[in-house]
C-alpha cells in the first residue's frame, strides 16, 4: 500500500500510512476486531465469576449488584477494545510510526483549536439528525438498541458507570478502529491495484466506496438489524467528517455528543419506570 499521503483538490490528506499490503492491513483490522470482542467476552465472564466468588457469602442489595455488574461491563468493554487499540498501535510502532500521528488523533488540522473541532462536530450532529428524520419517513420497524436495552436495567450510579462506556470509551475506541484504521485502509487500498480500474482512477469514488463500506461494517458490528439504517447513516457522517476535517478528533466529539444525548434520553426513560 502507499506510504505517502495523497490529496484531492480541496480535501485533506489521507493521513494514515500502512507499510503493508492491502490484504495484510485488512487482516490486521480483522484481528484487532476479534481481540476487541473476544477480549471483552473473556473479561466479562472472568470478572463475573471472580466477583461472584468473592461475594457469594455476602448479602448484597439490588443497587450494589447493579453497580458491580455495570462496572464489570465497563471494564470488559474498555479492556477488549483498549486491547485492540494497543495491538494496532504496536503495529505502527514496529515500523517506527506513531498511530496518533498517522490517524491524525490530534488538532493539527484545526490549528490546535478544540472549539473549532466542536464546531465541526456540531455540524455533523445536524447532518445526523437530518438523515435520521429522512429514515423515520421510511416504512421501517422501530430501531432497537442492545446497549439501550441493557442501560435501562440500571439506575443511579450503576447507570452512570455503564454510560461511561458509551459516552467516553466508544467515541475513542470505535473511531480508532472503524474510522482511523478501517476507513483509511479502505480509501488508500481502493486507490491502487485492481480497484483503480473499478473506480476509474478517481480518488473521490474510492473514498466514497470506503466511507460506505466502513459505515456498513460499523453498523453491522452493533448487532441490531432494525437499528442498522440509523447506525449506517451515523457511520457515513463520522467517516465524511474525518475525511473533510483531516482529524479524528471532530468525529470522536460527534460520537461523544450523539451518545451523550442517547444516554440522557435513556436515563429519562429509567426515571419513568
Q: What pLDDT is stored for residue 6 in this prediction?
A: 46
Banded pLDDT at 194 (limits 50, 70, 90): confident
**CA neighbor of 222 nearest in space, from 177, 261, 164:** 177
CA 61/CA 82 separation, integer angstroms: 31
Tell me the average pLDDT of the chain: 90
CA 257/CA 273 separation, integer angstroms: 25
Banded pLDDT at 20 (limits 50, 70, 90): confident
In this prediction the pTM is: 0.91
pLDDT of 4 over the 70 cut: no
Residue 159: other Cβ atoms inside 10 A: 19
Report how far Cα 29 is from the mean position of its chain's Cα atoms. 13
What are the boundaries of each domain within the chain? Answer: 22-271
* CA angle, residues 56, 59, 64, in degrees to nearest 5: 95
pLDDT in tens, 46-88: 999 999 999 988 889 999 999 999 999 999 999 999 999 999 9
Amino acid at each position: 500500500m502507499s506510504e505517502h499521503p495523497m490529496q484531492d483538490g480541496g480535501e485533506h490528506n489521507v493521513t494514515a500510512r500502512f507499510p503493508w499490503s492491502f490484504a495484510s492491513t485488512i487482516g490486521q483490522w480483522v484481528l484487532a476486531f476479534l481481540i476487541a470482542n473476544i477480549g471483552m467476552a473473556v473479561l466479562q465472564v472472568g470478572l463475573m465469576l471472580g466477583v461472584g466468588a468473592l461475594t457469594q457469602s455476602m448479602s448484597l442489595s439490588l443497587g450494589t449488584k447493579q453497580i458491580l455488574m455495570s462496572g464489570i461491563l465497563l471494564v470488559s468493554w474498555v479492556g477488549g477494545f483498549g486491547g485492540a487499540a494497543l495491538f494496532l498501535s504496536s503495529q505502527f510502532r514496529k515500523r517506527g510510526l506513531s498511530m496518533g500521528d498517522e490517524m491524525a488523533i490530534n488538532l493539527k488540522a484545526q490549528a490546535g483549536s478544540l472549539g473549532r473541532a466542536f464546531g465541526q462536530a456540531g455540524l455533523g450532529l445536524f447532518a445526523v439528525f437530518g438523515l435520521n428524520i429522512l429514515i423515520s419517513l421510511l416504512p421501517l420497524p422501530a430501531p432497537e438498541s442492545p446497549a439501550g436495552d441493557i442501560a435501562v436495567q440500571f439506575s443511579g450510579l450503576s447507570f452512570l458507570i455503564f454510560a461511561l462506556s458509551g459516552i467516553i470509551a466508544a467515541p475513542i475506541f470505535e473511531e480508532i478502529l472503524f474510522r482511523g484504521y478501517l476507513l483509511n485502509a479502505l480509501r488508500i487500498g481502493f486507490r491502487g491495484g485492481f480497484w483503480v480500474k473499478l473506480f476509474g482512477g478517481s480518488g473521490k469514488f474510492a473514498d466514497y466506496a470506503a466511507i460506505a463500506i466502513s459505515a456498513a461494517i460499523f453498523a453491522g458490528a452493533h448487532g441490531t438489524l432494525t437499528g442498522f439504517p440509523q447506525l449506517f447513516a451515523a457511520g457515513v457522517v463520522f467517516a465524511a467528517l474525518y475525511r473533510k476535517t483531516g482529524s479524528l478528533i471532530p468525529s470522536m466529539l460527534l460520537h461523544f455528543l450523539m451518545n451523550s444525548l442517547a444516554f440522557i434520553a435513556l436515563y429519562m426513560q429509567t426515571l419513568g419506570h
